[in-house]
Chain A
Amino acid sequence: MKTSPIVLAVTFLGLSLACCDKPQADPEPAANAAILAEQKPRLLFEKTNAALGISALFYGIDIRLGEELLHPDPVIAYIVFQDKRTGQAVTYNPEGATRQAADFFFPDIWSPDGAYIVLPLDKLDGFAIFNSATAIQDIESHKYADTIRVWHGEARRYWHSFDAWEGQAAFYFKGEMERDAFRFKYDVSTRRLSCFDAGCSSVDHARNITGDLQPQELEK
């Protein structure tokens, strides 16, 4: 090979975009429906907001092939929110390729003060936050109280994983990529995003429902 790869990289990154066609996508649509086609989901557990009388019913499937259980931990397939007082219900089951992640859903969706519900939008697109009091209507109409997602550098999206709540309405989550996991905290009530790694505020970027926001590096 006569061209140095380093030179090549510069050449590649310097190429004109003028001749670009749209990238040709794999023609078949995502097959989320097929995930559930072979097995009827069962109720795994329920998490209730007692003050509002709203229950979150977590349905899931066992990882089973034929007679054999492949893993003891079932996978959450969707969540049904049910208003015990009115009987109204709505299913939260977003589309998207990352729905196939075994850890797409997480159980700890209610904020400790009960005011918010945090749900996955997409593993690469972060979280949707709903007001608990109007959750049934808002989930139906995709009316978010807030959203939060983070990415690295110019546009490299992190794989978002919920960690835990802190206080009444702040939650920790991880942005994962390659072999690393970067920790963030989003306070829903103040809309403040914190990051925990040296230099993160300069290389990480975030967006909530109001627009771009800068992660704040925590003092050590």
Chain B
Amino acid sequence: MTDVTSGRLSGFCFECMWQYFNHHEGEVGSQFTGPARNRMKTNCVIYVYNVLSYGYALLGRSEVVANLKAMFPRQDGMELSRYLVGQGWKAHYWNPDVYKPRDGLNEHPFSFKLALDTGRYYDVSLSGLIVGYNKQEKEKTVGHRGWFWPFGEDIKVSTEDPENLAVFEDLKKVKFCVGINKGGWHCFLMTYCEVLEVHWNEEGPTGLYGKQNFYGYEWNSGILLTPPDSTFASRSIADVKAKVTAPSTTSRPR
């Protein structure tokens, strides 16, 4: 059985990810302003590098560990992403609400547009899309039922696309993946749709490592990288593009 099909890499990384999360007494955030007390400095990228290095080391892939070590000083999430894609990982663009980002920034609809137009997130080749799974407006009014407004009731239709929701359901089964936000600003690990991340200005036991549900994750767009042993498939870019650029109808899912 090859690494690609065995699930060993995901398993090793999953195990290590939780080890760090649960036992980090010897670590402190690299931006923590209090006393470091000889603790090892960490941050979001270091967490990701350490877990990946451990996983590949247990797989016996010393050349990958060495390459990760070579990249490590720059702590560049996008460089890491490009490297992982070169190693057979798949990059999936994510954006919970491409039409109405919760922070109102044009960055998120723009990165969605570029993902559709170029198939890339910054300079990382995308395998597909995880989009529209947590929209602010899950239904919209298309008319009114009743003989005289304001009596009667609004006719509402869902704005959800079942295919987007199905992809998100599949994402919940992914044991381990790496996430990158905003062109590499922030990195995180994820398991079964739970984000595990390091906050670089904190110390343990609480605060240094954080956990939250990916469904409402505040960064609003980025990429998720699934390992070569993952069977997860996101939505095809061509399929989504055909759908969102089709002439509008009242029931067009987006």
On A, residues with C-beta under 8 Å from B are 1, 3-6, 8-10, 12-13, 15-17, 19-21, 23-28, 30-31, 34-35, 37-38, 63-68, 70-71, 73, 75, 97-98, 100-103, 123-124, 153-157, 159, 176-180, 198-199
Q: Are A98 and B86 in contact (CB under 8 A)?
A: no
> Given the complex, which residues of A lie within 8 Å of B203, measured CB to CB?
none
Question: When the two chains form their complex, are residues B63 and A103 in contact, meaning their CB atoms are under 8 A apart?
Answer: no
With A5-B50, A66-B245 in contact, do A75 and B57 touch (Cβ < 8 Å)?
A: no
* B199 contacts across to A, CB distance below 8 A: 178-179
In the complex, the chain A residue whose C-beta lies closest to that of B241 is: A65
Of the 9-residue stretches B117-125, B149-157, B228-236, which lies at the interface with chain A? B117-125
B26 in contact with A102 (CB, 8 Å) = no
With A24-B83, A35-B118, A97-B78 known as contacts, the answer to whether A17 contacts B247 (CB < 8 A) is no
B60 within 8 Å of A (CB atoms): no
Selected contact of B248 from candidates A67, A73, A198, CB within 8 Å: A67
Q: Is B67 interfacial (CB 8 A cutoff)? A: yes
B 59-82 contacts with A by CB, 8 A? 62-63, 65-76, 78-79, 82
Work out how many contacts link A and B, with CB atoms closer than 8 A: 178
CB <8 Å contact, B33 and A198: yes
B123 CB contact (under 8 Å) in A30, A153, A154, A155: A30
A123 near B74 with CB under 8 A, answer no
Given A8-B50, A23-B70: A180 and B63 within 8 A (CB)?
no
Query: Cβ of B118 and Cβ of A31 under 8 Å apart?
Result: yes
- Minimal beta-carbon separation of B53 from chain A (angstroms): 4
Q: Which residues of B contact A73 (CB under 8 A)?
A: 106
Given A70-B98, A101-B183, the answer on whether A13 and B69 have CB atoms closer than 8 Å is yes
Query: If A100-B122, A157-B74 touch, does A178 touch B50 (CB 8 Å cutoff)?
Result: no
| Min distance, Cβ B78 to any Cβ of chain A, angstroms | 6
How many residues on B have C-beta within 8 angstroms of the other chain's C-beta atoms?
Answer: 77
Instruction: Report Cα–Cα, A124/B184, bound state, in Å.
Output: 10
Q: Is A26 touching B125 in the complex (CB atoms < 8 A)? A: yes
Question: Is residue B161 within 8 Å, beta carbon to beta carbon, of the partner chain?
Answer: no
Q: Does B105 make an interface contact (CB < 8 A)?
A: yes
Assembled-state Cα–Cα distance A168/B149 (Å)? 60
What sequence of 0s and 1s flags, for each residue 13-39 of chain B, a beta carbon within 8 Å of any chain A beta carbon? Answer: 001100110011011001101000000
A159 touches B185 (CB 8 A): yes
Known: A5-B16, A31-B119, A31-B120. A177 touches B185 (CB 8 A): yes
**Residues B111 and A15 in contact, CB atoms below 8 Å apart:** no
Chain B residues with CB below 8 A from A1, complex form: 15-16, 19
Interface of B toward A, CB cutoff 8 Å:
15-16, 19-20, 23-24, 26-27, 30-31, 33, 40, 43-46, 49-51, 53-54, 57, 62-63, 65-76, 78-79, 82-83, 85-87, 98-99, 105-107, 109-114, 116-125, 182-186, 199-201, 244-248
Which chain A residues lie closer than 8 Å to B26 at the CB level?
6
A residues near B15, Cβ cutoff 8 Å: 1
Provided the pairs A26-B86, A31-B120, A101-B183 are in contact, do residues A63 and B66 lie with their beta carbons within 8 angstroms? no
Kindly list chain A residues whose C-beta atoms are within 8 Å of the C-beta of B68: 12
Partner of A155, one of B73, B85, B98: B73
Of A12, A123, A180, chain B has the most CB atoms within 10 Å of the CB of: A12
Q: How far is the CB of A176 from chain B (nearest CB, A)?
A: 6
* Chain B residue contacts of A178, Cβ below 8 A: 31, 43-44, 185-186, 199-200
Verify A154–B87 contact, CB threshold 8 A: no
* Minimum-distance CB pairs A-B, first 4: A66-B245, A70-B109, A97-B123, A24-B86
Check A155–B74 contact: CB distance below 8 A. yes
Q: How far is the CA of A159 from the CA of B110 in the complex (A)?
A: 18
| Other-chain contact of B69, A12, A100, A199 (Cβ < 8 Å) | A12
Task: Choose among B43, B111, B122 the residue that contacts A97 (Cβ–Cβ < 8 A).
Answer: B122
Asked whether, in the complex, the Cβ of A8 is within 8 Å of the Cβ of B110, the reply is no
Q: Are B122 and A102 in contact (CB under 8 A)?
A: no
For the complex, what is the distance from the CA of A28 to the CA of B71, rounded to whole Å? 20
Whether the Cβ atoms of B83 and A98 lie closer than 8 Å is: no
Chain B residues whose CB sits within 8 angstroms of the CB of A180 once the complex forms:
31, 200-201
